Structure 1
């Protein structure tokens, strides 16, 4: 069989990390440069008496600390993604997240500014602290919201390119054509198109935050669910839990490799090597009918 041409999503994967890191570096670099120029223009226009290097230090220190905080926001949004059905709880969590972002941002940039000022024999004053922090938070909450929306929008775009799986819902009229408690098929939406994915075609599943990635013929389709939630809806005669983050289709297992730690490594037909915790190893060997 002739292998399928790689999709746009697959072609993007080798470049993905570099593009993601480069995006944030360029964004904050351009922001620091543009803000330094505009603040210097305001200083001269209002005759405030600051040297040209001072606005550059202010803006650069702010951008460097904000850039360093981006990975924390990526983790936080993965742990608590934006969800309309739970918006009150998510909003409260992100308000707390914005306070933490602002506190770290302010503390970091003040340290950098004091160091920069001290290097030229000057001193940087950030008092009164409460007033100054309130002023900075009004700016930081907007910056934090912009970072969160950018990350979530990017993830949404990736899911649309990759294809996002959904459980079939009950029909508006009449009985369902298949049991929704144990679905035989999943609905996949990809670039404006919809198609059905047979449950038995799933090779293995991996938990990823509030999603479970369904692996099918080299493609990952994220499904909004927990692994325990989807485990309860898959055929236990065909699918088995092997790890707190993985499930496998028993028909797609090639071999089970025991490890000295008591755990095991599961070799799948697609070449994947998945971890198997000792908790699940004995049951997996028995159910798969494999030695190892």
Structure 2
């Protein structure tokens, strides 16, 4: 494949990516905590409630810092259970469970910080009855969790679009095609108005994403407008295998298969990537890898 343009937007963004992601969550926490502190303080003063000026600051910052500490876990969880248009209903129960766990951790974290802050002021903090308090906090935290997951998934979608798009080779205007179109050896990848050839064997894995299938090539995702069934039919069955409703993997990239108690499995790739394997495909995949090794 020809060299990619060195100055494309995605490549320029990579050195700043970690700083941008970290800065975004820090800035969001700062703006939200300061804004809410001022708003709560003004509302209490208008209502004639007697609170020290530092108390709303402690409330909002303790909540914001607790959310900030949970960001890495939420990001990891969304990688393990991504919400895509075609699979969201299967992942939704996991996210509902995660929202409960996240809310509980958020409440415990902010209560611990508030208790410590109040003690430094020579007084005590009272969260109130725990059961009603946890229920009340969950109603707010569930919305916050949903917004965070939505922003994370939207950010990943933007990154995928920055990396480019892929399509199957078209038939020529005249004469026979260079290779059979029903099983192309190469795909066309479009990036910033330029097209590059990607060898099919270089595709590490593919993941369904709504009306697209994301092709992972050299650490980058290239959205291909196709269904998983159509893509599977076009890929070489000696090299690629369906491991899940939403995943196809290059067998040459598989390092090991980890069985799970549920009957499913986890696929470990040579680069450390983990992919889900459903029980429906687990035994077939194991047999194919064993046959390939014996051959």
Distance, in Å, in 1 between the alignment partners of 2:4 and 2:235 is 32
Residue of structure 1 in register with 2:120 after alignment: 119
TM-score (norm 1): 0.68
Distance, in Å, in 2 between the alignment partners of 1:22 and 1:96 is 28
Alignment match of 2:252 (pick from 227, 238, 241):
241
Q: How do 1:147-186 and structure 2 match up within 5 A?
A: 147-165=148-166, 178=180, 180=182, 182-186=183-187
Q: How do 1:101-116 and structure 2 match up within 5 A?
A: 101-116=102-117
Distance, in Å, in 2 between the alignment partners of 1:78 and 1:38 is 35
Residue of structure 2 in register with 1:290 after alignment: none
Distance, in Å, in 2 between the alignment partners of 1:3 and 1:106 is 47
**Offset of 1:195 from its aligned partner?**
5.8
For structure 1, list consecutive stretches of 5 or more residues without a partner in the other structure. 169-176, 246-265, 267-273, 288-292
2:80 equivalent to 1:79: yes
Deviations 1:46-92 (A, max 9, x none): 11111110000000000001011011111011111112222222222
SS at match of 2:147: helix
Q: Which has the higher contact order (CA 8 A, sep 6+)?
A: 2
For structure 2, list consecutive stretches of 5 or more residues without a partner in the other structure. 170-178, 241-249, 257-269, 273-288
**Offset of 1:45 from its aligned partner?**
0.6
Cα contact 1:79–1:209 (8 A) shared by 2: no
Distance 1:166 1:70, change over 3 A: farther
Distance, in Å, in 2 between the alignment partners of 1:109 and 1:77 is 23
**Offset of 1:233 from its aligned partner?**
3.3
Cα contact 1:187–1:196 (8 A) shared by 2: yes
Distance, in Å, in 2 between the alignment partners of 1:142 and 1:237 is 43
Q: How do 1:201-220 and structure 2 match up within 5 A?
A: 203=202, 205=204, 213-215=216-218, 220=220
Distance 1:188 1:242, change over 3 A: closer
Deviations 1:180-215 (A, max 9, x none): 5x4434464657x79674435x54637899966213
Distance 1:24 1:167, change over 3 A: farther
Cα contact 1:214–1:222 (8 A) shared by 2: yes
The count of aligned residue pairs is 240
Distance, in Å, in 2 between the alignment partners of 1:151 and 1:2 is 30
Cα contact 1:185–1:199 (8 A) shared by 2: yes
Cα contact 1:188–1:197 (8 A) shared by 2: yes
Cα contact 1:188–1:196 (8 A) shared by 2: yes
Residue of structure 1 in register with 2:51 after alignment: 50
Deviations 1:190-244 (A, max 9, x none): 57x79674435x54637899966213xxx83346999xx97x9347589862553
Task: Report the more deviating stretch, 206-215 or 66-75.
Answer: 206-215
Distance 1:152 1:237, change over 3 A: closer
